[in-house]
């Protein structure tokens, strides 16, 4: 997959007449002459380090501590800096190069079994996973507006909580065309008709109050989830990638009146007659039969969405 992504990016970079431009999150909205009638709003990633480190309430502090430890180790003894997130108070910590002044026996070969200098390597797999999550918050987030009617397509990539919250900062305001009123991220979310669900619909990549609860005000909202649940559940450690996440899946179906399409199965369907251990078994009882009857009717009425074997088409009307 990495190779295919690289090749796709090269096609974009080397496209005849292509010119690369770089934009920071926030105003102004970007209009591209080759794509008339649309405005592009860059919402993320945030430039605030605290928001980049805010993945969710369970992981943020732990990741920040690991990141600080890496930075301190990589800096070298001469530039050694103790960060405020270190686990011990400053008075109990000494630069590694001067440790022998206080612990003269520390470097003796017969006491090497007591040293913990390289113990952090034992956690390299866990560390890599956490850094991968940290990187998710650096995702480019685009809201694409059709100027004629204000309808918005939202693409948040793998953005997690800190990225989502940053869109609502006071500096994230765009001047509305022909009006003194400023456009905010909340207004863009409220006008969103198509939501590419963040990070394959993991539990911590769609904001609630600052995200889906605003989008659901639009009665035409449709969501698309790029996920293959069978593959996700087999990722290591097995069963840890539960995508779509149960609670989020249910919330999306409620917000979209059932108009939720997945890359692996097409339209979301009611799960019944399977074991809990089956791929879709976790979704038994996700909603009532009455809800599913209403949602199927809504899916059938969505003539702007067509599900094919290899892809799903969405037409913004």
Q: Dump pLDDT digits (tens) for 12-51.
A: 778 777 777 889 999 999 998 889 999 999 999 988 877 7
pLDDT band at residue 231 using 50, 70 and 90 as cut-offs: very high
Q: Tell me the percentage of the chain whose pLDDT exceeds 90.
A: 54
Look at residue 12 in the predicted model and tell me its pLDDT: 78
At 223, is the secondary structure helix, strand, or coil?
A: strand
Model pLDDT, residue 181: 79
Residue 65's pLDDT band, with cuts at 50, 70 and 90, is very low
- The contacts of residue 317 (CB under 8 Å, 6+ apart) are 304
Burial of 86 (0-12, 13-18, 19+ CB in 10 A): middle
Do 223 and 261 meet the contact criterion of CB atoms below 8 Å apart? Answer: yes
Provide the pLDDT for residue 208.
92
Quick one: pLDDT at residue 118? 62
Is the predicted pLDDT of residue 222 greater than 80, yes or no? yes
Mean pLDDT confidence for 122-148: 76
Q: What pTM did the predictor assign?
A: 0.74
Q: What is the DSSP string of 300-317?
A: HH-TTEEE-SS-EEE---
d(CA 37, CA 29) in angstroms, rounded, equals 12
pLDDT at 59 over 70: no
Q: Average pLDDT in the 286-304 region?
A: 97
- Residue 149: exposure state from Cβ atoms within 10 A (0-12, 13-18, ≥19): exposed
Q: What is the pLDDT of residue 63?
A: 31
**Whether pLDDT at 207 is above 60:** yes
Burial class of residue 242 (count of CB atoms within 10 Å of its CB; 0-12, 13-18, 19+)? middle
Q: Would you put residue 285 in left (φ > 0), alpha (ψ -120 to 50) or beta? A: left
Answer yes or no: is pLDDT of 128 > 70: no
Helix (H, G, I), strand (E, B) or coil at 195: strand
pLDDT score for 67: 38
Confidence at residue 5, expressed as pLDDT on a 0 to 100 scale: 78
Q: For residue 151, is pLDDT > 80?
A: yes
Q: Is the pLDDT of residue 170 over 60?
A: yes
The pLDDT of residue 229 = 96
Neighbouring C-beta atoms of residue 91, cutoff 10 Å: 6
Work out the pLDDT band at 266, boundaries 50, 70, 90.
Answer: very high
pLDDT digits (tens, 9 = 90+) for 78-123: 444 444 555 666 666 666 666 666 667 766 777 777 766 666 555 6
Portion of the chain with pLDDT greater than 70, in percent: 75
């Amino acid at each position: 997959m990495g190779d295919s992504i690289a090749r796709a990016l090269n096609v974009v970079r080397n496209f005849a007449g292509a010119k690369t431009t770089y934009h920071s999150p926030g105003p102004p909205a970007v209009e591209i002459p080759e794509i008339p009638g649309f405005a592009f709003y860059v919402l993320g990633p945030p430039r605030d380090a605290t928001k980049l480190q805010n993945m969710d309430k369970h992981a943020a502090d732990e990741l920040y501590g690991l990141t600080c430890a890496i930075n301190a180790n990589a800096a070298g003894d001469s530039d050694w800096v103790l960060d405020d997130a270190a686990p011990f108070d400053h008075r109990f910590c000494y630069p590694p190069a001067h440790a022998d002044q206080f612990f003269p026996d520390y470097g003796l070969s017969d006491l090497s079994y007591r040293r913990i200098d390289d113990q952090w390597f034992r956690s390299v797999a866990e560390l890599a996973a956490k850094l991968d999550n940290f990187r998710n918050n650096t995702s480019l987030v685009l809201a694409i507006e059709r100027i004629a009617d204000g309808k918005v397509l939202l693409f948040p990539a793998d953005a997690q909580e800190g990225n989502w919250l940053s869109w609502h900062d006071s500096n994230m305001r765009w001047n509305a065309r022909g009006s003194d009123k400023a456009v905010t991220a909340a207004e863009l979310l409220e006008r969103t008709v198509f939501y590419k669900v963040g990070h394959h619909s993991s539990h911590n990549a769609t904001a609630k109050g600052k995200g889906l609860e605003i989008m659901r005000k639009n009665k035409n909202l449709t969501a698309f989830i790029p996920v293959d649940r069978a593959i996700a559940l087999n990722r290591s450690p097995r069963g840890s990638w539960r995508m779509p996440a149960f609670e989020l899946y249910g919330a999306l179906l409620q917000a979209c009146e059932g108009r939720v399409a997945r890359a692996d199965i097409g339209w979301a369907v009611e799960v019944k007659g399977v074991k809990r251990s089956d791929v879709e078994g976790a979704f038994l009882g996700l909603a009532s039969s009455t809800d599913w009857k209403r949602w199927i009717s809504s899916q059938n009425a969505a003539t702007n969405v067509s599900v094919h074997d290899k892809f799903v088409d969405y037409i913004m009307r």
